[in-house]
Amino acid sequence: MPAAPVRPSVTDALLVLEGLLLRGGQRTARRNAWTAVLEDRRRAKDRDEAEHVLEAVSTGASQAT
């Protein structure tokens, strides 16, 4: 009795497609760009929190952050 064929998952298929379309350097560049986006978002969040704290201190309010 033959075994049932193994179907790749969507993730596997996308990784194979990515490998074909985006060879080494392009894949690395895309991942680096995404890492930079995430880091920019983190810094923006930190700036917003710091601004909130500075406003609270300047008004003399004791608001929790």
Asked if the structure places residue 27 within a domain, the reply is no
Query: Which CA distances in Å does 55 have to 12, 41, 61?
Result: 49, 21, 8
For 47, the domain range is 37-64
State how far the Cα of 63 lies from the Cα of 52, in Å rounded to an integer. Answer: 9
Say what the pLDDT of residue 62 is: 56
Asked if the structure places residue 44 within a domain, the reply is yes
pLDDT in tens, 23-63: 777 778 888 999 999 999 999 999 999 999 999 999 886 55
Asked if the structure places residue 53 within a domain, the reply is yes
Burial environment of residue 56 by CB neighbours within 10 A (0 to 12, 13 to 18, 19 or more): middle
Number of domains in the chain: 1
Asked if the structure places residue 55 within a domain, the reply is yes
